[in-house]
């Protein structure tokens, strides 16, 4: 399910079945140009991956909107914000919360976060439509789904 009105109607009927939250953490960067380009590609590919995960596990997972933060800023304030979110989510019957990201900086702060962090490497290619990239992404999606299922 996504955080859109059409799905939320179904969600309110079936709250006890939807117990998992997924939120992509995406760094924003506008300068220097090359890094900004890379980050923009990662933004697209992580959005695609999280949408595919939502399609696979639609009835048990709620995909939250992307969480953007400034790459160069200190992580501490972000951690505080994310923990506030985790606290809010745990008031609803969500037993599992996953943050997914390509940004490896989060791995260092993993223990400060109240929810599970899933980091995985990004596909470096610019062409997200090519057959190879599509199949790599498809594999990643299936592996992440397996990982999520192992927590259930």
Q: Which residues bind another protein (CB under 8 A)?
A: 1, 10, 14, 17-18, 55-61, 145, 149
- Residue 16, judged by CB atoms within 10 A of its CB (0-12, 13-18, 19+), counts as exposed
Minimum CB separation of residue 14 from another protein in Å reads: 6
Cβ proximity to another protein, 80 vs 130, nearer residue = 130
Minimum CB separation of residue 25 from another protein in Å reads: 24
Minimum CB separation of residue 30 from another protein in Å reads: 26
Q: Which among 41, 151, 48 is positioned nearest to 98, based on CA atoms? A: 151
Cβ proximity to another protein, 12 vs 72, nearer residue = 12
Cβ proximity to another protein, 2 vs 116, nearer residue = 2
Helix or strand run (H / E) with residue 11: helix 5-13
Q: Which among 82, 77, 71, 93 is positioned nearest to 23, based on CA atoms? A: 82
Rounded to 5 degrees, φ, ψ at 129 are -100, -15
69 beta partners: 27
Distance CA 67, CA 81 (A): 11
Minimum CB separation of residue 11 from another protein in Å reads: 9
Cβ proximity to another protein, 56 vs 112, nearer residue = 56
Cβ proximity to another protein, 56 vs 103, nearer residue = 56
Minimum CB separation of residue 123 from another protein in Å reads: 18
- Is the Cα dihedral 36, 115, 151, 8 positive or negative? negative
């Amino acid at each position: 399910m996504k955080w859109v009105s059409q799905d939320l109607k179904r969600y309110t009927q079936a709250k006890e079945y939807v117990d998992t939250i997924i939120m992509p953490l995406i760094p924003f960067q506008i300068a220097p140009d090359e890094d900004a380009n890379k980050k923009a590609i990662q933004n697209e590919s992580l959005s695609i991956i999280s949408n595919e995960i939502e399609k696979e596990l639609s009835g048990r997972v709620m995909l939250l909107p992307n969480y953007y933060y400034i790459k160069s800023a200190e992580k501490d304030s972000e951690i505080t914000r994310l923990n506030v979110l985790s606290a809010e989510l745990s008031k609803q019957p969500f037993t599992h919360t996953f943050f997914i990201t390509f940004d490896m900086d989060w791995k260092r702060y993993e223990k400060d976060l109240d929810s599970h962090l899933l980091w995985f490497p990004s596909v470096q290619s610019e062409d997200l439509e090519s057959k190879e990239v599509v199949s790599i992404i498809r594999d990643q999606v299936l592996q992440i789904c397996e990982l999520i299922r192992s927590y259930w």
